[in-house]
Amino acid sequence: MTTSQFDMQAIVGVAVRKACSDLFSAVLTDGQLQLQKTRKEFPGHFTVVVFPLTKISKLSPEATGELLGNYMVEQVPYVSAFNVVKGFLNVSMSQDFWSGFFTEALANARFGFAQEASGSHVMVEYSSPNTNKPLHLGHLRNNFLGYSVSEILKAVGHRVTKVQIINDRGIHICKSMVAWKNFGNGETPETSGLKGDKLVGKYYVEFDKAHKAQMKELVATGMDEERAAQQTSVMQQAQEMLRLWEARDKETIELWTMMNSWVYEGFTSTYQAMGVNFDKLYYESNTYINGKEEVEKGLAAGAFFKKEDGSIWVDLTDEGLDQKALLRKDGTAMYITQDIGTAILRFHDFPDLAYQIYTVGNEQEYHFKVLFKVLKKLGFEKADQCYHLSYGMVELPEGKMKSREGTVVDADDLMEEMAAVAHEVSAEQGKLEGLPEVEKKQLYHTIGMAALKYFLLRVDPKKNMLFNPKESIDFNGNTGPSVQYTFVRTRAILRRYAEANAGFDASKVMPTGHAMSEAELDVVAKIYEWPSVLELAAASYNPADVAHYCYDLAKLYNAFYQDHQIVREANEGARHFRLALTHKTGEVIRQGMSLLGIAMPDRM
């Protein structure tokens, strides 16, 4: 996305090829030309790996690097200096290069972003909750990751459809229904004062309590635990309720519809607070039918087999996996049944869809391996266009969360807690005097959500993580509020100068001729990296790359700010350059953080 005139890799690559032609009368192959960003511990901006060139030069790596470096400094206008470390030639770009690049970047309000949606059509699934409990801390990482990956893919030019599959049927949903029917006494969100999803989740926990108590009684009579787990009264009721639901029993469907409506209303308000959205919703209560039809087709085609009890299975032992049940003996569907139907349905709904990404925790890696293999067994030609974006679990200092035991961290409660902590920290700063209470409340939410999203997204998705609310909201260090604070600083500087100078617009200034200090060059060079960081994050589905970039840029800008006058700088050229640098830094930070779903406040 960097313009060709200031594409450092292209400039250095052309220079090395020409140098080898002039110095060694050799034409380089692509394999011989190896370029990379210079490591932080060495001076320079771009590095040429010299080892592959020694066969051409017939010299040592050091001598080859010296010859190439001297040639480039003399012959290439934008190369100003070099150093050789063993077999690596580190090249430094000139002030003219950085000034020219910065002038172009300043003119592009969407620097680093694709100018149009020219990439492939991608579907990203995330959230995908069960309607038997409220969203929790794990769902927060899921939603923030899926949303951010979607926004990053859009930023590099892909057309993205954001979806969720709402798991609104199945044995877990029946458990909440059975418990409410047995113990609820007609309780509703209105009579209880609970959000609908929390009320239904309460009865999921009640089911588990009753089930364990009944199991204990059966085991005491001599029954083994495995059999007792299937023979409790509440479990028998749940299994019968699932059968009745699939048979479209009127009373069962009415209860299911009522309780699900409570949950949907609760989910809607939680998603609104999270700041995430979806382009299309799929419901398991619809797609499981497609799945059952596909399983029956697979059975008829010989891809699957039926056991004596009537259950339908797939044998994946030749694929290094196990045998997997696809339909129960009573004909009821399983989770994988609906996943089969949903996967195929989506490609039918969107014929131009290039691939779909499932944002689901690493506990389900085996499930998705099976799913994709089953799709292949069915002869589905787009089976290879499905990808599981697996991410690690979020744990607390107390250990792993368990929904059925009621030991989860509720998403709503956590978001409210983060806003409360933001309130406390902001009050200590003492910079919000005079701000209306409504605006303060919104600001606390903005800061709290920045802390939460940044903390959950700054970790590589593949890694498990330990969540620490207090650490996440620190206004110093690698946190969301810290990056927000730097952005607010850039806006305050520009606002103050514009008010004193007839609406001066730093975005319209094209500074030339200013000799940049080392700190200024550091900031400009970091801004230069933004397009490549964005491309890398999109290719690896890793918002952590964007998070760390925003923090690094903020840190470099703060180092520059500490040692340089901006508004009071006497030299007009230097002053205008620094104002432009302040503007562009804030703009890139704002755009980068927006890809994480994080809003930038005007003040803190």
CATH code at position 48: 3.30.1360.70
- If asked whether residues 353 and 498 sit together in one domain, one would say no
At 472 the pLDDT is 80
Q: How far apart are CA 355 and CA 124, in angstroms?
A: 9
Split at pLDDT 50, 70, 90, the class of 511 is: confident
Among 374, 405, 436, which residue terminates a domain? 405
405 pLDDT exceeds 80?
no
- If asked whether residues 136 and 221 sit together in one domain, one would say yes
pLDDT in tens, 16-56: 999 999 999 999 998 899 999 999 899 999 999 999 999 99
Q: Per-residue b/e over 121-137, b at no fewer than 16 CB within 10 Å?
A: bbbbbbbbbbbbbbbbb
- If asked whether residues 314 and 333 sit together in one domain, one would say yes
At 406 the pLDDT is 47
User: For residue 114, is it within any domain?
Assistant: no
At 4 the pLDDT is 54
In Å, how far from its chain's centre is CA 526? 22
DSSP 201-221: HHHHHHHHHHHHHHHHHHHHT
Q: How far apart are CA 136 and CA 145, in angstroms?
A: 14
Split at pLDDT 50, 70, 90, the class of 404 is: very low
Q: Would you put residue 200 in left (φ > 0), alpha (ψ -120 to 50) or beta?
A: alpha
Mean pLDDT of the region 497-516? 87
402 pLDDT exceeds 50?
no
pLDDT cut 70: percent of the chain above it: 97
At 327 the pLDDT is 96
431 pLDDT exceeds 80?
no
At 427 the pLDDT is 76
- If asked whether residues 390 and 418 sit together in one domain, one would say no
- If asked whether residues 400 and 534 sit together in one domain, one would say no
Residue 2 phi/psi, 5-degree rounding, is -70, 140
User: For residue 198, is it within any domain?
Assistant: yes
Spatial CB neighbours of 5, under 8 Å, sequence gap ≥ 6: 100, 104
Structural domain harbouring 266: 126-405
User: For residue 599, is it within any domain?
Assistant: no
The answer to whether 562 touches 460, Cβ cutoff 8 Å, is no
pLDDT in tens, 326-349: 999 989 899 999 999 999 999 999
Mean pLDDT of the region 232-244? 96
What are the C-alpha distances in Å from 182 to residues 133, 201, 453? 18, 15, 39
Q: How far apart are CA 547 and CA 348, in angstroms?
A: 35
Mean pLDDT of the region 443-466? 95
User: For residue 103, is it within any domain?
Assistant: no
Strands 465-466 and 394-395: parallel
pLDDT cut 90: percent of the chain above it: 85
435 pLDDT exceeds 90?
no
Residue 221 CA neighbour count, 13 Å, CB half:
9
Q: How far apart are CA 566 and CA 575, in angstroms?
A: 6
362 pLDDT exceeds 90?
yes
User: For residue 183, is it within any domain?
Assistant: yes
Residue 314 phi/psi, 5-degree rounding, is -120, 140
503 pLDDT exceeds 90?
no
Domain of 152: which CATH number? 3.40.50.620
Residue 121 phi/psi, 5-degree rounding, is -90, 125
User: For residue 601, is it within any domain?
Assistant: no
Q: Look at 473 and 4; give whichever has higher pLDDT.
A: 473
- If asked whether residues 248 and 170 sit together in one domain, one would say yes
Q: Per-residue b/e over 414-441, b at no fewer than 16 CB within 10 Å?
A: bbebbbebbbebbeeeeeeeeeeeeeee
Range in 79-88, 356-365, 407-416 with the lowest mean pLDDT: 407-416
pLDDT in tens, 167-206: 999 999 999 999 999 999 999 999 999 999 999 999 999 9
Work out how many domains the chain is built from and give that number.
3
pLDDT in tens, 80-91: 999 999 999 999
pLDDT in tens, 50-82: 999 999 999 999 999 999 999 999 999 999 999
User: For residue 116, is it within any domain?
Assistant: no
- If asked whether residues 254 and 131 sit together in one domain, one would say yes
- If asked whether residues 25 and 170 sit together in one domain, one would say no
Q: Kindly report the CA angle at 352 between 350 and 353, in degrees rounded to 5?
A: 70
What amino acid is encoded at 172 in this protein?
H
403 pLDDT exceeds 50?
no
- If asked whether residues 277 and 330 sit together in one domain, one would say yes
